[in-house]
Amino acid sequence: MLTTKRATCLLISVIVLLFHSCGNRSDSPVIGPEKGSLVIAGGGRIPTVIHEKFASLAGGFEANIVVIPTAGSPDRIDTLLAKEKWEDIGFSNVTVLHTTDPEEANKKEFYSKIDSASGVWFEGGRQWRLVDAYYKTQTHISLYELLKRGGVIGGSSAGASIQGSFLARGDVSGNTIMISDNEKHRKGLGFLKNTAIDQHIDTRNRWGDIQEIVLKYPRLLGIGISESTAIIVSGDTFEVKGAGNVAITTHESITGEDNGIGYKILYPGDNYNMRDREKIKLCDIETVAAKKNN
């Protein structure tokens, strides 16, 4: 039986989350998708809890999912192995879609696989390859339609960065260049509007790299994600899930005197409102419990 204090904390937590996610505004989300969800992972080993969350949002491990490995090196992409990998994770209805040709991505026989899916996952590699193949094609449109149906789009590493509106590390010549000289490779697929997303921030010491982008484009929200960690996006809010941390960078966090490092840290179990650019303050006892469970 819940103690009075714990019951009160649970009630406060639920009310706060409802207030931020659906109860306090009549207009549509301005950052995240109006319907559907996003799972945006920072690379490395993906914990089971993240795969399970992706499966749950897609409708279960029996749901039709599409895996897109196009960001990978062309000579290393093996669609059969990609299918087997996701079947080993536990998914029973996996389709692998891959092309480097935008004309192919415009063909109904190609993008129709997404039309019958409830989940899509972008594998890692170089994010500019995804832009070259899919940006503003019928496949791109089908991905938005999937979200409108209430589906989920996920991805890790390059598959994380591509989900933002500004494409961090999109330069063809190397992944250390934050802002490409090619305007085409500054554009992500835009499932998360007014954002730039970086990954591997812990293992590659990229904590502050995205500041270069945010300083040049002050309206953008910079989101850096550690390996084995994901943000689960619903509307304008997300929850941090997995093993590591997330770094949030705004123009104010760089130019202000909040912490002297230019970004704010979120931990597993934390919830964040991207519209208001603030952490959602849950009851302390529930926050601690959420961190332990992750």
pLDDT at 178: 98
Asked if 126 and 175 count as a contact pair (C-beta separation under 8 A), the reply is yes
Number of domains in the chain: 1
SS3 assignment, position 177: coil
Asked if 198 and 207 count as a contact pair (C-beta separation under 8 A), the reply is no
DSSP 134-148: HTTSHHHHHHHHHHH
Q: In this structure, what token pair is assigned to residue 34?
A: 């109006």
Measured CA to CA, the distance from residue 170 to residue 6 in angstroms comes to 47
DSSP 28-67: PPSSS-SSSEEEEE-SSSPPHHHHHHHHHHHTSTTSEEEE
Residue 251 CB partners (closer than 8 Å, separation 6+) = 214, 215, 218, 219
* Radius of gyration in angstroms for the set of CA atoms belonging to the chain, rounded to a whole number: 19
pLDDT at 289: 44
Residue-range definition of the domain harbouring residue 150: 4-21+30-293
Residue 258 CB partners (closer than 8 Å, separation 6+) = 252, 264
- Provide the terminal-to-terminal Cα distance of the chain, rounded to the nearest Å: 23
Pairing of strands 271-273, 278-280: antiparallel
Pairing of strands 237-242, 229-234: antiparallel
- The closest alpha carbon to 167, from 128, 125, 201, belongs to 128
Q: Return the CATH number at 252.
A: 3.40.50.880
pLDDT at 287: 44
Q: In this structure, what token pair is assigned to residue 180?
A: 């490409």
Q: Count, in order, helices (H) and strands (E) of the chain.
A: 11, 14
Angle at 264 between CA 11 and CA 198, to 5 degrees: 110
Largest CA distance in the chain: 62
Measured CA to CA, the distance from residue 275 to residue 292 in angstroms comes to 27
- The closest alpha carbon to 280, from 3, 18, 1, 84, belongs to 18
SS3 assignment, position 194: strand
| pTM across the whole model | 0.88
Supply the DSSP symbol for 153: E
Per-residue tens of pLDDT for the chain, all 294 residues: 445 544 445 454 444 454 444 434 446 789 999 999 999 999 999 999 999 999 999 999 999 999 999 999 999 999 999 999 999 999 999 999 999 999 999 999 999 999 999 999 999 999 999 999 999 999 999 999 999 999 999 999 999 999 999 999 999 999 999 999 999 999 999 999 999 999 999 999 999 999 999 999 999 999 999 999 999 999 999 999 999 999 999 999 999 865 578 999 999 999 999 999 999 986 543 443 444 344
Tell me how far CA of residue 100 lies from CA of 122, 281, 283, in angstroms.
14, 44, 48
Supply the DSSP symbol for 234: E
